[in-house]
Structure 1
């Protein structure tokens, strides 16, 4: 009987620990080296947040990343059952940081997409649907290309009209979608989410690979653990991640 109570207590403590981990707020401050970066963008910062799902973006998080110049939501802003009032509140908080870009994730299409697009219009959110946002500082530009649309289809020719001499940052929700992009040699760096870093990892055992920066296809490729969770509101061995990314050239 004592052993059963001990095991039960340990299991309960483990569940509480995983619930606690899922509700944490973590900002990973990073430098992204982009050799082709225009001088005007050196030191500029991007706040990248993916897989919010059911979570609320706290004011405390917003205050910590006020130095960011651009906000990118890497898909799964929501999921089925999340009220539009919460989505609007999250967007308004992210807007306090800077201009907000969005790419579609698989859970975003579970809501009324026309209503969601109307919300983006009302709040001034730019949804990238196999399209590019031109980030300008004076005469210098970076192309932020968003792969995928609200049908989750990726246009393989997304990058074909971008001049080869200009800097390209690709954003997509599911990192596996990169295989569908033609002309990947045009990309200087990429940001993605979707995998949650496996969400629950016991050693090397997990349903997904660990998050972090990878070097794939010839460029730095971020796969974020994400901010929220799916299925179960629990995390183990795959901490919550948002990213404050400082741009830097080699020179």
Structure 2
């Protein structure tokens, strides 16, 4: 009897570990006229996790030979993990760069009792991010690709109220990508009538625990994955990579999203 109980507990632990640490690759094919074939990889919410059941993060990303990598916040659970996460991201091979917008865990750390970082700590961490990625805090970046112009604009909603609309829209862009940590940014986009081809966000973790394909608890009003939107073309919400509060996932695997635009 005792052996059976121990075996059941062990199988349960393995089951949860698999759901929590096995990364699924979600491939989304998009047709966008006037730009060359482009592979964009979206990462979000690692919360300090860089190694997974099926491999190291940089190897999982590099396998897709990305042109652009997007990271939408919450790199760590606490600041002590930052060096390890950035070392991992530095191994990512992205032809045209890695672009980052901060999340709420860039402003505060801890699993149950969060500590708000001082402005000095935040600035110090930002300097570290900039060694590896292009940081977009209510800023845009333009990339030229085979004669086409790609405009990437990052909203800073690491603190709600920080986000600002673009000061000047790039009218000549062949592809416009909006980034934000929280999908709540869609309200500002709709209210301001802003236009893009793609909006990438994270923050919700897909709920972390899903039953009958439904999110439990917070964020259940948001979709998981991609949704067509009249303002931003495709509105993507990543399930993310790590966990917050509860250190487990159930029926909500960690996710890397690969956007294959005009694949040959």
TM-score by length of 1: 0.83
What SS class does the counterpart of residue 83 from structure 1 fall into? Answer: helix
Q: Distance in 1 between matches of 2:91 and 2:150?
A: 25
Matched, 1:244 2:253: no
The residue correspondences of 1:107-118 to structure 2 (distance < 5 A) are 107-110=105-108, 112-118=121-127
Superposed displacement of residue 56, structure 1: 1.1
2:71 corresponding residue in structure 1: 73
The one of 245, 253, 262 aligned to 1:231: 245
Superposed displacement of residue 84, structure 1: 3.0
Q: Distance in 2 between matches of 1:144 and 1:229?
A: 27
- Judged with a 3 Å threshold, the aligned counterparts in structure 2 of structure 1 residues 10 and 159 are, in CA distance, closer, same or farther, namely farther
The residue correspondences of 1:74-223 to structure 2 (distance < 5 A) are 74-94=72-92, 96-98=93-95, 99-110=97-108, 112-123=121-132, 125-148=133-156, 151-158=159-166, 160-163=168-171, 166-181=174-189, 182-203=191-212, 204=214, 206-207=216-217, 208-209=219-220, 211-218=224-231, 219-223=233-237
Superposed displacement of residue 43, structure 1: 1.4
Q: Distance in 2 between matches of 1:168 and 1:56?
A: 29
Q: Distance in 2 between matches of 1:81 and 1:143?
A: 31
CA contact (8 A) 1:174 1:193 kept: yes
- Judged with a 3 Å threshold, the aligned counterparts in structure 2 of structure 1 residues 106 and 28 are, in CA distance, closer, same or farther, namely same
Unaligned runs of 5+ in 1: none
Q: Distance in 1 between matches of 2:31 and 2:192?
A: 21
The residue correspondences of 1:52-71 to structure 2 (distance < 5 A) are 52-56=46-50, 58=56, 59-65=58-64, 67-71=65-69
For 1:142-200, what per-residue CA distance to the aligned partner results, in whole angstroms no more than 9, with x for missing partners? 11111116545444422643327753111111111221235445211211111111111
CA contact (8 A) 2:158 2:181 kept: no
- Judged with a 3 Å threshold, the aligned counterparts in structure 2 of structure 1 residues 52 and 119 are, in CA distance, closer, same or farther, namely same
Give the alignment's Cα RMSD to 1 decimal: 2.7
CA contact (8 A) 2:23 2:253 kept: no
Unaligned runs of 5+ in 2: 109-116
Q: Distance in 2 between matches of 1:245 and 1:9?
A: 41
- Judged with a 3 Å threshold, the aligned counterparts in structure 2 of structure 1 residues 135 and 238 are, in CA distance, closer, same or farther, namely same
